[in-house]
Amino acid sequence: MSDVVNVTMKVNGTDVSHAIAPRNTLADFLRQTLELTGTHTGCEMGVCGACLVVLDGRVVHSCLTFAVQASGSTIETVEGLSERAAIADLQEAFHQRNALQCGFCTPGMLMTAHSLLSQPGVPSREDIRDALSGNYCRCTGYEAIVDAIEMVARKRHDGAAAPQNEEVGA
């Protein structure tokens, strides 16, 4: 296992280059080599959605992608989206609505929500539930997540700012 290959990619706006074992997945590369631990692995077989990241503008399972396959690509993780405030309104809505408990699925949920809300139009609750069905959550029962995404979808559509400290739920 001494064989290594070089991978080069742009991750969260920064060019990175590392020599890694060819069997390393993108998830392992992000988590272990780059220490971007916001991306999680829940099943390592492309089912649970905890490992979703943005690769060249598409949301992909980083557990099903070898790091070498992603060489030359542009990757964005929850850390990158957070730092450039691309999902600040989603994060705020999740927070206010308590749309997370243990938080392990949350980065993947945010990826799916980010992708869904990048599409034109305002998704219905059924659309949101459908889009989230590649993301498992064992804590929330999903409703609060649907509520939070629906709220952001409407606000974005209405051109309004992200919610500010309003009391939600209950």
Partner 1 sequence: MSALTPLDRPNSYIGRSVPRPNAKRLLAGRGRYVTDITLPRMLHVAYVRSPYAHARIVSINALAAREMPGVRLVATGEDLAKLCTPWVGTMDHFKGMKSPPQLPLPIDKVVWSGQAVVAVVADTRALAEDAAEAVTIEFDELPAVVDIDAAREPDAPVISPELGSNLCFHGKIDTGGIDEIFTGAAYVVEEEFHFGRHTAVTMEPRAIIADYDASEGQLTVHHATQTPYQFQDIYSRHYGIPESRVRVIAPDIGGSFGMKLHMYHEDMAVVGLSMMLGRPVKYVADRIESFVSDIHARDHRVRARMAADAEGNILAMDVEDVTGIGAFSAYPRTSVVEGNQVYRLMGAPYTFRNYRADLQVVFQNKVQMSQYRAVGHPVACTVTERLVDMIADKTALDVFDIRSRNMIADDAYPCTSPTGYQFEALSHHACLAKLKAMMDYDRLRAEQAELRTKGIHRGIGIATFVEITNPGPAFYGVGGARISSQDGAIIKITPSGDVHCSISVTELGQGTETIIGQIVAEHLGVDSNRIKVMTGDTDTTPHGGATYACRGAGIGGETALQAAKKLKANVLAVAAAILQDEPEKLDIHSGWIVDAATAQQRMELSEIARIAYFRSDTLPPGTQAQLSVAHHYAPQGYPFAFTNGVQACHLELDVETGLVKILKLWVVEDCGRVINPLLVDEQIRGGVVQGLGAAFFEECVYGDNGQLTNGSLADYLVPMAVEMPDIEIGHVETPTLDTQLGAKGVGEAGTAAASAAALNAINDAMKPFGGTVAQVPMTPARILKALGHI
Q: What are phi and psi of 20, to 5 degrees?
A: -135, 165
> What secondary structure letter does DSSP report for 166?
-
The window from 3-11, 68-76, 139-147, 153-161 that contacts partner 1 (CB under 8 A) reads: 139-147
The window from 54-62, 71-79, 116-124, 155-163 that contacts partner 1 (CB under 8 A) reads: 71-79
Among 13, 143, 154, 160, binds partner 1 (CB under 8 A): 143
**What is the distance between the alpha carbons of residues 49 and 41, in angstroms, rounded to a whole number?**
8
Cα separation values, 53 from 61, 74, 166, Å: 7, 10, 30
Evaluate the CA torsion angle 26, 29, 34, 38 in order and state its sign: positive
Query: Which CB atom, from 18 or from 129, has the smaller least distance to partner 1?
Result: 129
**What is the distance between the alpha carbons of residues 158 and 170, in angstroms, rounded to a whole number?**
24
User: Is 106 among the residues that bind partner 1 (CB under 8 A)?
Assistant: yes
The window from 66-74, 89-97, 114-122, 155-163 that contacts partner 1 (CB under 8 A) reads: 89-97
User: Is 50 among the residues that bind partner 1 (CB under 8 A)?
Assistant: yes
**What is the distance between the alpha carbons of residues 36 and 124, in angstroms, rounded to a whole number?**
33
Residue 52, CB-side half-sphere exposure with 13 Å CA sphere: 24
Per-residue string for binding with partner 1, 5-44, x by CB under 8 A?
----------------x-x-------xx--xxxxxxxxxx
Provide the binding-site residues for partner 1, judged by CB under 8 A.
1-2, 21, 23, 31-32, 35-45, 47-48, 50, 77-79, 82, 91, 94-96, 98, 100-107, 110, 125-126, 128-130, 132-133, 135-146, 167-170
